[in-house]
Amino acid sequence: MSDAELEALRSQIDDVNFKLLEMLNIRAALVDEIRKIKEARGIEKFDPKREAEMLNALVRANHGPLPHHVIKQIFRMIFRSSLYFMEQQAKDARLITRHGAERTVIDIDGTRIGNGAVQMMAGPCCIESHEQLDTIAKALSALGVKILRGGAFKPRTSPYAFQGLGVPGLKILRDITRAYGMLGITEVMDARQLDAVVEHADILQIGTRNMSNFDLLKAVGGAGKPVMLKRGFMSTLEEFELAAEYIMVEGNHQVILCERGIRTFEKATRNTLDISAVPILKRETHLPIVVDISHSTGRKDIALPIAAAAIAAGADAIMVEVHAHPELARSDADQQLTIPEFTSLLRGLNLKPAVP
Ligand code: PEP
Ligand code: MN
């Protein structure tokens, strides 16, 4: 065979490819047309019976040289491509989905999360006493921290471990945040605690273990206060996003997403911080993103590079545990920064106090 003959055959293949491309798009346009009609009439869009019939008819009409199983494979792929519009449309319609440059900025009494400045959410793992929280809040507010964290209801692995002060802890948080002009963020573990948490806190936290507690998500969706949703430690980003959707569907659009590490085989850190989650969530959603550098790593010697990485990846806020005497803390003693350690973290990050 001459080179010219080979070239001629190749150019025929090219023609066929372009024809196939055209036919595939004609087919896709028809599929979309049908989808719109079905939608208008409220008919179920997915029709597996019709697909099976079409596949059988195609196999019967096939006279080779491609064998039946290859034809089936190709057409299954083509049929699956019909789902593209449906999936895309469903994703676009989600409340969390970002459209263009849209960004949600949470503004609580002038303190903003998601406006481009990095906020710090700092404070102890759990509220232990008025004095304990007062000492920490005083130091943090002097350093320009606006958002004070501290658990009153603590999700503990062991039922014998300190479970938090409960409602008295919430009152301490409220008193101290008001005294220092700060905002309080604390976890709500159960819908039965919701009214009390709403009364005393400015931001409601949903912990990693409750990310898939859909009734709780619905409940905070109706709570009328900003919610920080932590990623489940075994959850994919898709599951995380849909959990946030649960809150938003109920009418609460003040949602903040928090990456706090996922479980992997790695033991050098308590969890594995999924840093890629930050730019992905920022690309796919319009919600502010927080990175919890304490629960993700479980250690404080790498606090600075981890916080710097989170900010470089686009985090809107950093959550970090700070305690005046971590060695005496009733939970997470190893990972809580002392006040001087927190001060040098701020200095290392070159963070000016966040613009209110
Ligand atoms: C917390 O922030 O207090 C906490 C318990 O974190 P997580 O839910 O991420 O474990
Ligand atoms: Mn903790």
Give DSSP secondary structure letters for 276-301: THHHHHHHHB-S-EEEEHHHHH--ST
Q: Which atom of ligand 1 sits closest to the CA of residue 319?
A: 2
Using an 8 Å Cβ cutoff, are 187 and 205 in contact?
yes
Residue 155 CA to ligand 1 center (angstroms) comes to 8
Torsional class of 269: left (φ above 0), alpha (ψ -120 to 50), beta (otherwise): beta
Residues in contact with ligand 1 (CB, 6 Å cut-off): 125, 151, 155, 187, 207-208, 230, 260, 292, 295
How high is the pLDDT of residue 352? 58
pLDDT at 346: 96
Name the residue with the closest Cα to ligand 1, atom 4: 207
Peptide bond into 65 cis (omega under 30): yes
CA of 207 to the centre of ligand 1 (A): 5
| Residue 89: predicted pLDDT | 85
Of 153, 205, 323, the residue with max ligand 1 atoms within 8 A of its CB, to mutate for a pocket test, comes to 205
Q: Whose CA is nearest to atom 10 of ligand 1?
A: 208
Residue whose C-alpha is closest to residue 35's, from 72, 84, 94, 92: 84
Q: How far is CA 280 from the centre of its chain?
A: 9
CB 234, CB 204: distance < 8 Å = no
Q: Which atom of ligand 1 is nearest to the CA of 261?
A: 9
In the reported structure, the alpha carbon of residue 85 is separated from the centroid of ligand 2 by a whole-number distance in angstroms of 43
CA of 208 to the centre of ligand 1 (A): 6
Give residue 237 CA to ligand 2 midpoint distance, Å.
22
The burial of 4, by beta-carbon neighbours within 10 Å (0-12 exposed, 13-18 middle, 19 or more buried), is given as exposed
Task: Take atom 9 of ligand 1 and give the residue whose Cα is closest.
Answer: 208
Answer left, alpha or beta for residue 166, where phi above 0 means left and psi between -120 and 50 means alpha. left
SS3 sequence of 227-241: EEEECCCCCCHHHHH
Q: Which of 295, 296, 322 has most ligand 1 atoms within 8 Å of its beta carbon, as the pocket-test mutant?
A: 295
Architecture of domain 3-92: Up-down Bundle (1.20)
The DSSP result for 3-69, as a single string, is HHHHHHHHHHHHHHHHHHHHHHHHHHHHHHHHHHHHHHHT--S--HHHHHHHHHHHHHH--SSS-HH
- CATH superfamily of the domain spanning 106-349: Aldolase class I (3.20.20.70)
CA terminus-to-terminus distance, the chain: 76
C-alpha triplet 119, 242, 45: angle, nearest 5°: 150
pLDDT tens, residue order, the chain (356 aa): 799 999 999 999 999 999 999 999 999 999 989 988 988 998 877 777 888 999 999 999 999 999 999 999 999 999 988 888 888 888 999 999 999 999 999 999 999 999 999 999 999 999 999 999 999 999 999 999 999 999 999 999 999 999 999 999 999 999 999 999 999 999 999 999 999 999 999 999 999 999 999 999 999 999 999 999 999 999 999 999 999 999 999 999 999 999 999 999 999 999 999 999 999 999 999 999 999 999 999 999 999 999 999 999 999 999 999 999 999 999 999 999 999 999 999 999 987 544 34
Structure-token pair, residue 152: 């009153």
3-92 and 106-349: identical CATH topology: no
Residue 290: strand pairing partners: 258, 317
Q: What is the Å distance from ligand 1's center to 40 Cα?
A: 45
Is there a contact between 324 and 136 (Cβ–Cβ < 8 Å)?
yes
189 and 219 in contact (C-beta within 8 Å)? no
pLDDT at 73: 95
Give the start-to-end residue ranges of the domains of the chain: 3-92, 106-349
Total-model pTM: 0.87
Give the residue among 280, 286, 278 at the shortest CA–CA distance from 97: 286
